[in-house]
Amino acid sequence: MPHLADDQQVAQRVLDHMAQRTTDLAPAVWREPVEHYRSATVLDAEIRQVMRRTPTAFCPSAALSQPGDYVAREAAGTPLLAVRGKDGVVRAFRNACRHRGMPVASGRGNAPAFACRYHGWTYALDGQLRQVPDPHGFPDLDKGCHGLVPVQVQERLGLVFITQDAALVNDASLDDVQTLLPPEYELLATRERIVDANWKVMLEGFIEGYHIRSTHRESFYPYGFDNLNLIEPFGRHCRVTYPFRRIGKLADVPPAERRVEGLLTYVYHLFPNVLVTMLSRHTNLVVLEPMGVDRTLEISYTLANVRGADDQARTAALRDADFVREVGAAEDREVICAIQKGLASQANEHFTFGLFEGAISHFHQTLAAARGATASS
């Protein structure tokens, strides 16, 4: 299993690329059928065969920091509820009352128990049915068999992973990854936005740097590079490194003493539809939930990259996060939505991803295999 490069290795590879005016290259060009972005059948396979059967990051552990903290939302079209129990363990359930199917929670908050607002059936944090109003109306009801239906959950790397429709499997490719969201990081904001584009078109914009100069000429390009990235697949996942120009100062630092914090952005693509973007002052967890072939719900959690954030650190982190969201991300959304409209032009049977776009090629090859399709290359 490939190991991710450490600080010193990352620094040296970036410096070499800067000196040689090169970037990481994929082994081959990838051609993805445009129909895969438009087909309801393909999307259904991605949801049923991939997203519901793959351990997928649902939320940061920081969103469930205290007993009773919960997050309720749809994932791959399924209403789910994740909650930290009184014993400190995170559990997850299908968010449906066992009486008539009403969700027992919504949004994010803290609760001592979950009471269905339709008829008042009440469930403990461990999912057990605790109270049924007027129980004589259900003389044969076995409460022990009518708790919330659990789904597989695993907490690792500062993330809560949920597997809906398959047995829990340890993803060994994550074993050597350092904690992405340390428990000391403070959750600053949670935001949702609907984007009129296919979830894969959106994801692709996060994991290649070939577009930086053209798309982000006045926002990111003055501080970074166009088409200079490190691409590191590991298992189904991939890490893309976006160095800042100021990383060049490490050339004068002894290799063993080089540290890259504050000198680059890491983007971790956690297969299939989750990204962790690690910037200088803040980290974002981004989940792309398909709502149709041409609509995606983007859920983002912003955390401060400090141990015990003070007011100054929170302000700085939020300021940077706002810039990324309102400037850089807005530029990407404009392009993404235009691509979505262009899908109807019938100009392309395939999208061609070149040697500079290896993280995208890795994603599509992995996705095709996971949904049981024949890979196109």
Class level of CATH domain 7-53+178-370: alpha beta
Of 297, 293, 232, 292, the residue nearest 267 (C-alpha): 232
CB 164 within 8 A of CB 151: yes
Q: Residue 39: phi, psi to the nearest 5? A: -85, 125
**Could you tell me the CA-to-CA distances from 73 to 134, 159, 168, 184, 257 in Å, in that order?**
30, 16, 21, 24, 44
Is it the case that residue 104 has pLDDT exceeding 70? Answer: yes
Measure the CA–CA gap between 354 and 84, rounded to whole angstroms: 44
pLDDT digits (tens, 9 = 90+) for 350-366: 999 999 999 999 999 99
Residue whose tokens read 């970036």: 14
Its sign, for the CA torsion 46, 52, 56, 57, is: positive
What's the average model confidence in pLDDT over 365-376? 78
d(CA 301, CA 347): 37
Q: Which residues contact 139 (CB under 8 A, 6 or more apart)?
A: none
Q: What is the mean pLDDT of the chain?
A: 94
Angle at 294 between CA 290 and CA 295, to 5 degrees: 50
What are the angstrom distances between the C-alpha of 65 and each of 4, 87, 222, 276? 28, 12, 38, 19
Report the C-alpha gap between 256 and 170 in whole angstroms.
Answer: 33
CATH architecture of 56-170: 3-layer Sandwich (2.102)
Residue 3's SS3 state is coil
Q: pLDDT for 131-162, tens place per residue?
A: 999 999 999 999 999 999 999 999 999 999 99
Asked if the model's pLDDT at residue 257 lies above 50, the reply is yes
| pLDDT tens string 110-131 | 999 999 999 999 999 999 999 9
Q: Which of 245, 239, 213 is nearest to 227 (CA)?
A: 213
Q: Where residue 373 falls among pLDDT bands split at 50, 70, 90?
A: low
**Strand stretches in the chain, DSSP E:** 30-33, 56-60, 69-75, 78-84, 90-94, 107-110, 114-115, 122-123, 129-131, 150-156, 159-163, 186-195, 230-234, 237-243, 264-270, 274-278, 282-292, 295-304, 350-353
How high is the pLDDT of residue 309? 59
State the pLDDT at residue 377. 37
Residue ranges of alpha helices (H) inside the chain are 7-20, 35-38, 40-45, 199-206, 212-215, 311-323, 329-342, 358-370
Question: Token pair 């829990």 is at which residue?
Answer: 168
- Domain chopping of the chain, boundaries: 7-53+178-370, 56-170
pLDDT band at 170 (very low <50, low <70, confident <90, very high): confident
218-227 — which CB contacts under 8 Å span 24+ positions? 219/323, 219/327, 219/328, 219/331, 220/328, 224/265, 225/18, 227/23, 227/356
Q: Give the 3-state secondary structure of residue 289.
A: strand
Neighbours of 377 (CB within 10 A): 12
Instruction: Summarize pLDDT for 199-217 with one digit per residue, the tens.
Output: 999 999 999 999 999 999 9
1-25 pLDDT, tens digit per residue, is 578 999 999 999 999 999 999 999 9
Q: Is the model's pLDDT at 308 over the cut of 70?
A: no
Write the pLDDT tens digit of every residue in 53-92: 999 999 999 999 999 999 999 999 999 999 999 999 999 9
User: What pLDDT digit, counting tens, does each position of 215-246 carry?
Assistant: 999 989 999 999 999 999 999 999 999 999 99
* 28-43 average pLDDT score: 97
Which pLDDT score, from 0 to 100, does residue 198 have? 98
Least confident of 42-46, 252-256, 318-322: 318-322
Provide the phi-psi class of 347: left if phi over 0, else alpha when psi is between -120 and 50, else beta.
alpha
For residue 376, pLDDT beyond 50: no
pLDDT in the model for residue 47: 97
Q: What pLDDT score was predicted for residue 136?
A: 96
